[in-house]
Amino acid sequence: MMSDSTVSRRKSRRRLSPREKYEMWISIVTGQVTQREAADRYGVDRSTVVHTCRVAKRGAVDAVAAAVPGRPGQSAEVAALAAAREEVERLRATVAEQAVALHLQEGKARWD
């Protein structure tokens, strides 16, 4: 069981708005504040700051990865589906070429 002094030292849970999370992440990325300073400024635990930064970085990397030059932005799922369709077409063409080659090879063996 926790004592009253342990409970009183804990910060109350505070939920940050998406805008606050974004502003916090930008201020950390640009070097304006440290993670500890951001936690104090926004009244949250440092683990919340670390988690928010990790999620923001992952989201930014996914967004950049989905962007294809010369095309409007695509989600990761749409980009993966387009890549899979291109692979299916490439494999279909390869199988057709191999079928023709096999037919020609077997056909030549009969004429000899």
Host domain of residue 35 = 10-66
> Any alpha helices (H) in the chain, and if so which ranges?
4-9, 18-29, 35-42, 46-66, 76-111
Distance CA 63, CA 60 (A): 5
Distance CA 82, CA 75 (A): 11
55 in a structural domain: yes
> Which pLDDT belongs to residue 62?
82
pTM of the model: 0.50
Distance CA 31, CA 98 (A): 58
Residue type present at position 58: R
81 in a structural domain: no
83 in a structural domain: no
> Which pLDDT belongs to residue 31?
92
Which CATH number do you get for residue 49?
A: 1.10.10.10
Which residue numbers in the chain have pLDDT < 50? 1, 111-112
Question: What domain count does the chain have?
Answer: 1
89 in a structural domain: no
44 in a structural domain: yes
Structure-token pair, residue 98: 């191999």
